[in-house]
Structure 1
Amino acid sequence: MIRVAIVLCDDLGRRISTQYSPYETLYAEFLNLAAPDILETSVFRAHKGDLPDDVTSFDAVVIGGSRASVYEPHDWIPPLLSVVRCSLESDMSTWGICFGHQVVAAAMGADVGPSTTGWNLAAQNYEMLDGPHPDVTDPLRLLAFHQDQVHTVPSGTQCYLTSPGCAIAGLSGDNVLTMQPHPEFTPQVIAAILAASRGGPISDRDIDDALLRIDGPFSSHRASELFWLSHSGTA
């Protein structure tokens, strides 16, 4: 069994979580796509002050998504960054998805901030650059929901994933793999999140447009393979 710490940084919200699986289940199901029945997961909620006492006791840690920004003054973000730095200094795998991608990058010294192109919502097409595996070159089509982005590539990593709306959409390095999109999302989940976002900072026009672009197929299985390739040391 491979022990994975799933570090949540937000909740789906009561209205959504009563209809669909909670975040921790979405992440576990995503990782299981390429490596079924080998996960032993422990769930932590960083946004509620719950973090692993010793993250290095796990084989891998995945940092999840959030409505928060890594540069905002939330009291739970500095301890989260400390845990990520601890994992980065070890031989364990450090994985990040969406906000988690930004957290890992920030922990390594990268610049993270608002996108210059606005919100990236619903289905996006991502080009694979050099790495994390030379045999993996096909583009990825994945769901996205973000406004913040990583603006610089931290030392010790390379950008392996890019899109017109997000230049640095994925980072790979020794025992590190991150991606800005949400490979764990289903069309039903992102539709519910978009619907629940009305009346907020995203315009109804942008939400309506995004809802037209949530149908698959998506590359979630391929994305899951990338995470496991990075863990096995073959990426």
Structure 2
Amino acid sequence: MGGRKFAVLLCAEDSDYVKKIYGGYFGVFVQMLEEEGETWDMFKVSRGEFPEDNEIGGYDGFVITGSCNDAHGNDPWICKLLVLLKKLDAMKKKVLGICFGHQILGRALGGKTGRATSGWNIGITQVELQSSRIFTSLKMPAFLSIIECHQDEVWELPPKAEIVARSNITGIEMFKYGDHMMGIQGHPEYTKDILLHLIERLLNHNLIEESLAEEVKSKLEAKEPDREAWKKLCTSFLKGKLL
């Protein structure tokens, strides 16, 4: 598997905490997904840094991160990202979208995204994996717990997309499109400490109520996300190891 190249399309600004402990969100993703002999690059797309058209072909796969922005917004960089994702689809490049990345991927392929009717979903959510052939080779359990932190969701997917996970809170927790594109609403890369610092940031910016923050924190202690299973799933998808 030597010599393979991957890129993280960074859609958020790094918090000081994540920068200090993990080397930024890029570091968090590389820690989860990197295997020996691979090259990982970063493009800060939310700052307008994009791979050139002649560079795209050199990459085996792309990861789109979470973001504070709305996937249904029309900021110039979001519009540019939609164009890039359509190109990657045409080239059948592997693309893994996480949270905002999942939503923007759904939108790029012709689906609809917007504010979740149920409001913020913050904490550890149990998602139910649907019977899809992508899980067969991995022997995945029927349910997996994942850290979530979002107030938007994918409302509707294009006809060719397959919903591969649901939860009581979000109808489209995960989808795949062809064998090359997959979106996950939760954060397989997050640890509980990253989420706790994120809750503090949301609180400080008055984006969530203190009562919600306290409720989430109290529930977090009793649960653990299935990080190893998600790591295996994301890595296998991105590297083309799924049957």
Same fold (TM over 0.5): yes
Q: Tell whether the 8 Å contact from 2:130 to 2:142 is kept in structure 1 after alignment.
A: no
SS in 2 for 1:112: strand
Matches of residues 31-70 of structure 1 in structure 2 within 5 Å?
A: 31-32=33-34, 36-54=35-53, 55-70=56-71
Residue in 1 that maps onto 2:20: 18
Offset at residue 87 of structure 1 (A): 0.9
Structure 1 runs, 4 residues or longer, greater than 6 Å off = none
Offset at residue 57 of structure 1 (A): 1.9
Are residues 1:186 and 2:191 paired? yes
Are residues 1:149 and 2:157 paired? no
**Structure 2 spans left out of the alignment, 5+ residues:** none
Deviates more, 1:37-46 or 1:209-218: 209-218
Residue in 2 that maps onto 1:73: 74
Q: Tell whether the 8 Å contact from 1:177 to 1:227 is kept in structure 2 after alignment.
A: no
C-alpha distance in structure 2 between counterparts of 1:214 and 1:27, whole Å = 22
Kindly tell me the number of residue pairs found equivalent between the two proteins: 232
Distance 1:61 1:203, change over 3 A: same
**Structure 1 spans left out of the alignment, 5+ residues:** none
C-alpha distance in structure 1 between counterparts of 2:152 and 2:74, whole Å = 15
Q: Deviations over 1:5-35 (max 9, x none)?
A: 1000011323553354310000111114xxx
C-alpha distance in structure 2 between counterparts of 1:168 and 1:14, whole Å = 31
C-alpha distance in structure 2 between counterparts of 1:87 and 1:130, whole Å = 27
Residue in 2 that maps onto 1:102: 103
Matches of residues 130-145 of structure 1 in structure 2 within 5 Å?
A: 130-131=131-132, 132-134=134-136, 135-145=139-149
Decide which structure has greater helix share. 2
Deviates more, 1:178-187 or 1:67-76: 67-76
C-alpha distance in structure 1 between counterparts of 2:17 and 2:140, whole Å = 38
Deviates more, 1:86-95 or 1:61-70: 86-95
Tell me the C-alpha RMSD between the 2 structures.
Answer: 1.7
TM-score by length of 2: 0.89
C-alpha distance in structure 1 between counterparts of 2:141 and 2:90, whole Å = 29
Residue in 1 that maps onto 2:170: 166
Q: Tell whether the 8 Å contact from 1:61 to 1:94 is kept in structure 2 after alignment.
A: yes
TM-score by length of 1: 0.92
Q: Tell whether the 8 Å contact from 2:8 to 2:64 is kept in structure 1 after alignment.
A: yes
Q: Tell whether the 8 Å contact from 1:143 to 1:214 is kept in structure 2 after alignment.
A: no
Residue in 1 that maps onto 2:86: 85
SS in 1 for 2:50: coil
Q: Tell whether the 8 Å contact from 2:22 to 2:28 is kept in structure 1 after alignment.
A: no
Of all paired residues, the percent bearing the same amino acid is 22
Q: Tell whether the 8 Å contact from 1:5 to 1:58 is kept in structure 2 after alignment.
A: yes
Pick from 231, 235, 238 the counterpart of residue 228 of structure 1: 235
Residue in 1 that maps onto 2:9: 7
Q: Which amino acid aligns with 1:13?
A: S
C-alpha distance in structure 1 between counterparts of 2:129 and 2:104, whole Å = 22
Q: Tell whether the 8 Å contact from 2:71 to 2:103 is kept in structure 1 after alignment.
A: yes
Residue in 1 that maps onto 2:209: 203
